[in-house]
Amino acid sequence: MIQIKFYETTSIIYTNAAPHIGFALELIQADVLARLHRLKGDDVFFLTGSDEHGSKIQKAAADAGQDPDHFVDGIVEKVQEMITLLDVSNDDFIRTTDTERHIPTAQEIWTLIENNDDFYRKKYQGLYCVGCESFKTEKELVDGNCPIHHKKPELVEEENFFFKLSKYQSKLIELIESDEMKIYPKERKKEILNFIKSGLEDISFSRSKKALSWGVPVPGNNDQTMYVWCDALTNYLSGIGYTLDKQKFEKYWPADVHIIGKDILRFHAVFWPAMLMSAGLPLPKEIFVHGFVTKDGKKMSKSIGNVVDPFEQLKKYGADPFRYFLLRELPATNDGDYSEEMLINKINSNLAGDLGNLVYRVLTLTEKNFDGKVPPVAKGKLAEIAHGIEERVSKSLEVYDFQGALDEVWKLIRASNQYINETEPWKIQDKKELEKIIYELLEALRIIGIVINPFLPGSSVKILEQLGLEGEFDFSNIKWGGLEEGTQVKKGEVLFQKVDKE
């Protein structure tokens, strides 16, 4: 079988504060896609990381009474803890303070852009939003404030290097309209095309070292530091060995998908492809843009007091329930509200009531009637429902429909529970008939255990272990009849305990 490479990235989290629930959502979405492609037998490389330079981090470190390098180390520890708690299967983690992999890459890309005559130096006075780490034009402001951070930008006057972004306006429109660089969903594609067609201006790609010392030095210029986005975006290259491992880089680049939040679309769909074109590198194939996680319909904010702590929720309910809620209840491309009450409802109904109950019932029936041994292979109603489930799940995830993919899995889970209720195996005296029913239920469980892996990896492992199965599983194992007669199954602990709302 020929392996197809699949290289995906999340954005890299800005390390001015502990990771928030929005980044948790992004990691989970990326992890689902990575695990799906591994199940399909693809050669997957899944990269995430941390963005550690800029004036905002410099200020946060000073406020905390720490050096910037020690400050970001502490934040990165929290990010790594979140990755572990979420059961995320990333292949690497790139830091923009990495002196061996990242900083040489950022400087090499700068040099390539410079050699293409796409930088010029000029004195500039502009409105700088510290929160966005970017300059704003008057037309981007709302009542004089940054539309994201709701604060007035600072008036900054410096001599900086400017990137000839306007040079790439026509080419960017062509690339996005033709879907050569696809932006999903369509609303974001339309949004960014409107922005580009309104006219691109050249942008500052450096800051004076006096204003920003915490960053990557501009090659050959002791008085300039790279603008944080120019530095940060190159992580997608440095993380796959751009300067250190050309063979690895050429194997995985271009990225098959960048997974990002809607607030950083402009940087990824305008600045980044323009930089790559200037440097003579291929463009990413696709950019998937998710919405915000809100609380009570509002974006989470410490000042409002509606922030949900993802660490507290993960430690309270576990990775699989937390993942399930975010994937099943929040729309993939729009804002969605986080509710602990709704999370508990989903645990009690879908996870404990549907999936956990099914596993427990089937294995109990097997132990009681067949001493825990799998009866002879049989094929019936559940085989028909399970047929093609991996294709349906894959098709949903091709368009980032996480809810639709889970619906396909739950159709088989609910059909299996219904099959138990209809056949009432505890009443059946005919051994042959009982063997057929129990085998169908066990084999349905095996298939559920495989296809549920991208979404609920911990539960997937537990289900397959209880069925007496070990080793690697992928979609080639989905074919009905894979559970062999005589395999010893062993009922374990209940997968999900119901949560008392009180």
Contacts of 284 (CB under 8 A, 6+ apart): 181, 236, 254, 255, 256, 257, 258, 272, 273
Which pLDDT value is given to residue 169?
A: 98
**With left for phi above 0 and alpha for psi between -120 and 50, is residue 74 left, alpha or beta?**
alpha
Tell me, yes or no, whether 137 lies in a domain: no
CATH number at residue 445: 1.10.730.10
Q: Is residue 163 part of a domain?
A: no
The pair of structure tokens assigned to 306 is 């509606």
Residue 445 lies in a domain: yes
Q: Domain residues for 471?
A: 340-477
Whether residue 279 lies inside any domain: the answer is no
Give, for all 502 residues of the chain, the pLDDT tens digit: 568 999 999 999 999 999 999 999 999 999 999 999 999 999 999 999 999 999 889 999 999 999 999 999 999 999 999 999 999 999 999 999 999 999 999 999 999 999 999 999 998 777 877 666 666 777 778 878 887 767 788 887 788 999 999 999 999 999 999 999 999 999 999 999 999 999 999 999 999 998 889 999 999 998 999 998 899 999 999 999 999 999 999 999 999 999 999 999 999 999 999 999 999 999 999 999 999 999 877 777 766 667 899 999 999 999 999 999 999 999 999 999 999 999 999 999 999 999 999 999 999 999 999 999 999 999 999 999 999 999 999 999 999 999 999 999 999 999 999 999 999 999 999 999 999 999 999 999 999 999 999 999 999 999 999 999 988 889 999 999 999 999 999 999 999 999 988 7
Task: Report helix, strand or coil for 401.
Answer: coil
pTM over 0.85: yes
Place of tokens 């993942």: 323
Q: Is residue 397 part of a domain?
A: yes
Q: What is the pLDDT of residue 153?
A: 82
**Residue 387 in domain:** yes
Task: Report the distance separating Cα 303 and Cα 147, nearest Å.
Answer: 16
- Is 492 inside any structural domain? no
Count up the domains in the chain and report the number: 1
Residue 222 lies in a domain: no
* pLDDT at res. 2: 65
Give the DSSP per-residue string, 266-317: HIIIIIHHHHHHHHT-PPPSEEEEE--EEETTEE--TTTT----HHHHHHHH
In angstroms, the CA 326 to CA 323 distance is 5
